[in-house]
Structure 1
C-alpha cells in the first residue's frame, strides 16, 4: 500500500506531500488500519540511558515537529519516536519552497529552519496522546535568539517538556538556523551543556524523576572538533549523543540539478559521512555514554553498520520516505540476527 501512496505523494511538492502523508497515516491509525501499512516487528528489548526500549529502531526528529502524530507513528512499530525540533515561541521557518527530493539518490535537501508551533502547542499535543511507547523530545532555539542567549531558550524548553519526555535531545546541529552550529564550538558547548546538566539535576530533584539529556551533533566535524566535543560530553557526564544531523556537504550528489539548493542533505548519500563521524566519536567518548546512530539508513545493513561503528540505537526519517514502514521491521530483524550471531 505504501508503494502506491508514494507514487501519488511524489507527484506533489515535497513539503505538501510530507503533510499529506502524515495526515494519511493519522487517518489510518484512527480507523485501525495501520496494520495495512506495516507489520510491527517482534520485540527486541534494548537498554540505553536507563530506558528499556522495546526495540532499538527509532523515528528521528523532524518528521513530527509538533507532536501531532505520536500514537500513529508508534503504531508503525518504532521502538521510540522523537518529536520536534521545538522552540520556545512559534516560528514559520525559512521561505518556501524549502524541501527537495533527489529520488535518484534516495535523498532529501531541506532548509525548513525549525518551523514549529512552539513548545506550548507541542506539550498540549503530547498531553492528548496515548503515548504507548518511548518518546523523545528534541529542543532548539528560536531563530532570532542570539547565541549569547541561546541557553535561555534551551532551558525554557527543557523545563516545559521535562514531565512529558522519556528523554530530551538538545539540537545544536541543524544547518538551517544561522549560527546554530557555532554552539558546537568547545567553549560555547561547555557553557551550554553545563547549564543544561545543572538544570536537569535540579528538575530531577524537584520532580522526583530523572529524564536523560542527549545532544545531537553534526556530521560535518573535523577530528579535532569531534575530540573536543567528546571531551565536553565526558566531563559533563552527558547521558547520550545523537550522531548526527543533516550535512552541508554535496560531494555525493554534486552532479544533481538540485545540489546547489541551500540546506541539509539527508538520506543515502549521508550514510558514509555520518557513520564515519559516529565511529570517530565512539573512539573519544566514554564507553558508558550511549550513541544513537542516524543518517542514511535505507536498508537493514545500514542499521548494522551504525551498530558496528558504535551505536546502541538507530533512527531514520528520510529512509521512511523512500522505503516506507517496512524499513522498521527490516532494521529490527537485521539487528536481531546480529544479536543472535547469525549476521
Structure 2
C-alpha cells in the first residue's frame, strides 16, 4: 500500500503538477515557486485535507534527537523554499520532520533584480541569486505567532540585511534573533549565501568568532530559565578543507549546537548540454551537481568535530540522503530535489532513512 501511494505521488507530481508549474509564466521559475507556496498555504488552512494528506504520506520512522530537539524523522525542508512561513502549517503533512524557514533579515528587503531564479533541467539543478528577498524577521515572528503550535520542529535561518555594512553585521543578526527566539526551535546562522555582498567574509575566523559568541550569549540570555535556542552555522561548499577546519574550531569554541552543510555553490562543475549557457548566470548553484561536494563537506565536518551535522545539497534521490547520513549527518534537508521530485522524494527518503 505504501509503495502504491509513493508511485501515485510520483506519477501525479512528475507527469501533471511539475510540468504545469514549470510552464507557469512562460517558464518563469519564481512565478511557479510563488504559485506552489500559495497552494501549500491554502492546504494549511484546510484541516481535513491536511489529515488526509498526512495519512497518505505516512511512513514508519524512528524519531532522532539532535541538539536537544526531537525530530519525528530525518528529512527536513531546507531554507529558501518558504522564507516567510507561508506554508508552515502544511509541511508536516507532506512528510517533513522539520522545516527551516528563511533566510530572513532584520529589515524587510526585496532581494535582487529579476530574473533571479533559473532551472537547469538537463542537469537537475537550479541557479538562484534571490538575495534574501523576505518580509523581515518581525513579520515571520508574527506569522509564527498566528500559526500556533506546529507539529514538527521549526528552524529559522537568519542572514544579514543587504544595506547593513558588514562591520555592523552582529547587531543585524541579533535583531533577528531577538524577534524570533520565542518561535524557533533552532536558529541557523547563514554566513554562506553567495548572493549578499560581503556575507561570505563572515566565515573568516575573527568575524565569525565575534558573531557566534554574541548570538550564543544572547540566546542564553533570552532563555529566561528554559533551554536556550540552539544555534547552528550554515557553511559554504566552496570552503577549502583548511577553512572548514577553521570554522569548526570557531564554532566549537563559541559553543554552537551544530553545523548545516552546505549552502549553494559558485562552482559550475556538473552542468552539461542545453544548460551550459545558463552557467554564465550569477548566483548559487544547487541540485545534482552539488551532491558529491556536499557529501565531502559533511564527511569532513563529522570527522573533525563532535558537532551534529544537518546535511543538505544535491539530495535528489533516497540514496543521496542515505549517503549523507552514512557520511555523518544526523538529518538531511531537501530543496532542489523537492522541486524536481515532489512529495514522493520525501516519502522515499523517510522510508530509506527510517
Deviation at residue 39 of structure 1 after TM alignment: 1.3
| Alignment partner, residue 243 of structure 1 | 261
1:316 aligned to which of 298, 320, 334: 334
Matched, 1:22 2:37: yes
Q: What CA distance in whole angstroms lies between the structure 2 residues aligned with 1:70 and 1:83?
A: 8
Q: What CA distance in whole angstroms lies between the structure 1 residues aligned with 2:248 and 2:133?
A: 29
| Alignment partner, residue 260 of structure 1 | 280
| Alignment partner, residue 4 of structure 2 | none
Q: What CA distance in whole angstroms lies between the structure 2 residues aligned with 1:5 and 1:227?
A: 43
Q: What CA distance in whole angstroms lies between the structure 2 residues aligned with 1:190 and 1:42?
A: 41
Which digits, 9 at most, give the CA deviation of each residue in 1:263-314, with x for residues without a partner?
A: 00011111111111111122222x2x10000000011101111011110000
Do the aligned partners of 2:41 and 2:88 also contact (CA within 8 Å) in 1? no
Deviation at residue 146 of structure 1 after TM alignment: 1.1
* Unaligned stretches of 5+ residues in structure 2: 1-11
Matched, 1:271 2:291: yes
Distance 1:249 1:307, change over 3 A: same
RMSD of Structure 2 on Structure 1 (CA): 1.5
SS of alignment partner, residue 33 of structure 1: helix
Matched, 1:184 2:183: no
Deviation at residue 223 of structure 1 after TM alignment: 1.3
Matched, 1:109 2:120: no
Q: What CA distance in whole angstroms lies between the structure 2 residues aligned with 1:245 and 1:159?
A: 24
Do the aligned partners of 1:231 and 1:284 also contact (CA within 8 Å) in 2? no
Matched, 1:33 2:49: yes
Q: What CA distance in whole angstroms lies between the structure 1 residues aligned with 2:90 and 2:332?
A: 19
| Alignment partner, residue 65 of structure 1 | 83
Aligned residues: 333
Q: When the two structures are superposed, what TM-score results if normalisation uses the length of structure 2? A: 0.91
* Unaligned stretches of 5+ residues in structure 1: 337-343
Q: What CA distance in whole angstroms lies between the structure 1 residues aligned with 2:116 and 2:317?
A: 26
| Alignment partner, residue 305 of structure 1 | 323
| Alignment partner, residue 95 of structure 2 | 77
Deviation at residue 40 of structure 1 after TM alignment: 2.7
SS of alignment partner, residue 71 of structure 1: coil
1:108-127 alignment runs, 5 A limit: 108-127=126-145
Deviation at residue 36 of structure 1 after TM alignment: 5.6
Deviation at residue 319 of structure 1 after TM alignment: 0.6
SS of alignment partner, residue 201 of structure 2: helix
Q: When the two structures are superposed, what TM-score results if normalisation uses the length of structure 1? A: 0.94
| Alignment partner, residue 341 of structure 1 | none
Deviation at residue 254 of structure 1 after TM alignment: 5.9
Q: What CA distance in whole angstroms lies between the structure 1 residues aligned with 2:37 and 2:165?
A: 33
Deviation at residue 26 of structure 1 after TM alignment: 2.5
Q: What CA distance in whole angstroms lies between the structure 2 residues aligned with 1:252 and 1:321?
A: 18
Which digits, 9 at most, give the CA deviation of each residue in 1:221-252, with x for residues without a partner?
A: 00110111111112122101100100000011
Q: What CA distance in whole angstroms lies between the structure 1 residues aligned with 2:217 and 2:205?
A: 18
2:179 aligned to which of 150, 156, 160: 160
Deviation at residue 43 of structure 1 after TM alignment: 3.2
Q: What CA distance in whole angstroms lies between the structure 2 residues aligned with 1:40 and 1:326?
A: 11
SS of alignment partner, residue 338 of structure 2: helix
2:213 aligned to which of 185, 188, 194: 194
Q: What CA distance in whole angstroms lies between the structure 2 residues aligned with 1:6 and 1:177?
A: 30
Deviation at residue 27 of structure 1 after TM alignment: 2.5
| Alignment partner, residue 216 of structure 1 | 234
| Alignment partner, residue 339 of structure 1 | none
| Alignment partner, residue 13 of structure 2 | 2
Which digits, 9 at most, give the CA deviation of each residue in 1:306-341, with x for residues without a partner?
A: 0111100000111110000111111111112xxxxx
1:100 aligned to which of 118, 134, 148: 118
SS of alignment partner, residue 238 of structure 2: coil
Distance 1:312 1:96, change over 3 A: same
